[in-house]
Amino acid sequence: MPRVKGGTVTHARHKKVVNAAKGYYGRRKNTFKVAAQAVDKANQYATRDRKARKRNFRALWIQRINAAVRSHDESLTYSRFVNGLNLAGIEVDRKVLADLAVHEPAAFGAIVDQAKSALAQ
């Protein structure tokens, strides 16, 4: 039986890694051993940062909502606003609230007024 070296499979595996390292600096883009390390680390960062992106966007939305709420009523804070929304039975997520605060200030002002009236009761 002839000897099988498996060069085709190895070449394909190496090529996949080197293609994933396109755009990297120096030997990281064309040497398999170094590229494999760089691609592995990049995938670790990508996995970690998918979670971090969700946290960052939530923090951004909260900051935008807080700023918009305070521009409508200086005594009202973000946490009291969210409590007012819950008391008023308004179920709108932070992403939509932040978008309303930026693009539809009048509609957001109406929501703030409803939350304030729910807090007053």
Look at the chain and count its residues.
121
pLDDT greater than 90 at residue 2: no
Give the separation between CA 84 and CA 90, rounded to whole angstroms: 9
SS3 114: helix
CATH number of the structural domain 7-120: 1.10.1900.20
pLDDT in tens, 7-25: 899 999 999 999 999 999 9
Compare 2 and 14 and report the one with higher pLDDT: 14
pLDDT in tens, 83-109: 999 999 999 999 999 999 999 999 999
Give the separation between CA 33 and CA 77, rounded to whole angstroms: 54
| Count of beta carbons in the 10 Å neighbourhood of residue 40 | 12
Q: What are the residue boundaries of the structural domains of the chain, listed by start?
A: 7-120
